[in-house]
Amino acid sequence: MRQDRKERRGEAVELLGFWTVAGAITLGVALMLILALRRNTDSTEEPADFDRRVYRDQLREIERDQARGIIAEDEAQRLRSEVARRLLDTDRIGAAQAAEPPLKSGPNPIFAVAIVAVALAAGFGVYSYLGQPAYPDLPIKTRIAMAEERRDSRPSQAEAEAALPAQTPLQAIDPEFLKLVEKLRETVIARPDDLQGHQLLARNEANLGNFGAAQRAQGRVIELKGADAEPRDLLLRATLMVQATGGMVSPEAERLFLTVLQQDPNEETGLFFMGILNMQVGRYDVAFRFWRKLLDVATPQSPWLPEVRGRIESLADAAGVRFELPSAAPALGGPSAADVEAAAGMSAEDRDTMIRGMVEGLNDRLATEGGTAAEWARLIVALANLGEGDRARAILTEAQNTFAGRDADLETIAVAARQAGLTP
């Protein structure tokens, strides 16, 4: 109880200090605004009097410069005549203004104070509604520490699955299918080392929406495969884990994604979910880096690309990064249904002409606009099939230079080169 009172007194002192400083700053700003609005009102010198004073000073400067020998007699006379003419014009204007009724100069002081008061009241009102005066400052170092604490305090996979509400069974499931799955469950219990049985169980549990059971079955698949487990096996389990927790990336799933990314830094699924994880813990800067890389390496057919393109600009804003979403890469070109139908009735020569036209169109677009590794691969294979091996080799070299340092894209190009017979 005593500790609570002490904490409340501390909060009250902090709140009082905040409003005292804010009030002092506000009062200072208000005084500067009022003085600025009253500046013209407090001035007693007429514009014409100011101009006369300036011109008389100029005449004295001309006399001094002539006495020092800086300007010649004829130049001094010309300058004196010009200044005297301006002085006479000022006298005429001043006389005309003196004959007119006086006008108030500057705003009404009461009106100025009222404007400042309304502005201050609106500012305090908005801050009272939206602001949090007792909320402490959050420098970058503190925010990073808070994010890492959230990362470390995440529930485990088992805890996250247990915390979810009971799953609603899927509707309209074939009873025979349910019986087969139940028999499969009994089989893998009786034969725990049956690799194929666990693979089938993981797939069918996922089809039923039982993602927790599916990820555990896939975990057993990885155990049975041992050193022969492939990255896709790890990715399958990691994604099933995310589905089993309702979208949360658990520490266990994170380790699987990181393991895959260590083997292939451009793996799209790993990049996507590592971005999701870092958004969940508040590291928007790290999440942006994962998703920005995903944009660079993803193929147009990537299942993650639409969501990344739809959310990365708001993610960049949260990360404090200036970012402009690049235009989407055009989809791979190919013959439409109408093209296929038309080609069926063509002669061999006309069909060859049509195919060559499509290949040349792809070649021109890649040369001027660039494209994905899959498009370059398609062009290499197409040229080789047309018997233009030299051009295919030249395109292969260009593609290898274009995608240098991007292992996944280079592998796509290498597969195309082998398919085209350009490499063993």
Query: C-alpha angle 87/93/96, rounded to 5°?
Result: 145
pLDDT in tens, 340-355: 455 555 566 666 677 7
The string over 198-223, giving b where at least 16 C-beta atoms fall within 10 Å of a residue's C-beta and e elsewhere, is bbbbbebbbebebbbbbbbbbbbbbe
Predicted local confidence at residue 335, as pLDDT: 47
- Note the pTM of the prediction, 2 decimals: 0.53
- When comparing pLDDT for 100 and 120, which is higher? 120
Burial degree of 10 (CB within 10 A; 0-12, 13-18, 19+):
exposed
* Least-confidence region, from 29-33, 136-140, 145-149, 385-389: 136-140
Predicted local confidence at residue 421, as pLDDT: 84
The string over 344-373, giving b where at least 16 C-beta atoms fall within 10 Å of a residue's C-beta and e elsewhere, is eeeeeeeeeeebeeebeebeeebeeeebbb
- When comparing pLDDT for 263 and 16, which is higher? 263
pLDDT in tens, 114-148: 776 777 777 777 766 666 665 666 677 888 888 88
Give start and end residues of each alpha helix (H) in 104-250.
109-130, 140-152, 157-163, 175-190, 195-207, 211-225, 231-244
Rounded to an integer, the average pLDDT of 387-408 is: 83
Give the rounded distance of the alpha carbon of 24 from its chain centre: 38
State the fold for domain 147-319: 1.25.40
Those residues with Cβ within 8 angstroms of residue 191's Cβ, 6 or more apart along the chain or in another chain: 197
Domain definitions of the chain by residue range: 2-130, 147-319, 337-419
Predicted local confidence at residue 3, as pLDDT: 54
The total number of residues shown for the chain amounts to 424
pLDDT in tens, 278-327: 999 999 999 999 999 998 888 777 888 888 988 999 999 988 888 888 76
Please say if the pLDDT value at position 167 is more than 60.
yes
pLDDT in tens, 64-83: 777 766 777 878 788 888 87
* Least-confidence region, from 250-254, 374-378, 405-409: 405-409
